[in-house]
Amino acid sequence: MKLFFTITCTLLGIFCAKAQANDSIIKRLTPEKFIEAIKDSTVQVIDVRTITEYNQGHLKRAKKVDFLRPTEFQSYFENKDTLQPVYLYCRSGNRSMNAAKYLKKRGFKEIYDLRGGYSGLPDSLQIALKVEIDENSY
């Protein structure tokens, strides 16, 4: 009986440690930390909102990859380097978290999500980082 209890506790400990390690792949960042991190020009910044939302303003260097269009979303990430950090955001943080979970399942190792989404950015940051849309770019 003691052996069974010891083995059960050991397996439970291993399972919990693995679950905690996997949870650390997706990190939710405050707007200030997110904005500071994306100043690094080598990171991928992905806006998972719709084209309408994107056209209302988005963060500089953000690539629009609509999460609500599964084919578009999946094909964009199909051949991407899973070791390169990915910074995601949407309007409120729900879609980007679902996108982060998808990327985690696909093997991405470093995923960051903007807590509160684009609408959670303080007005001063939103104005400073907003990109005006050039209608000729589409």
DSSP state of 1: -
The vertex-86 CA angle with 68 and 55, nearest 5°, equals: 45
pLDDT the model gives residue 129? 64
Domains of the chain: 26-131 (3.40.250.10)
Give the position of tokens 């995601």: 88
Query: Cα 26 from chain centroid?
Result: 7
Q: What is the pTM of this model?
A: 0.76
The vertex-111 CA angle with 105 and 113, nearest 5°, equals: 115
pLDDT tens for 32-73 read 999 999 988 889 999 999 999 999 889 988 999 999 999 999
pLDDT the model gives residue 21? 41
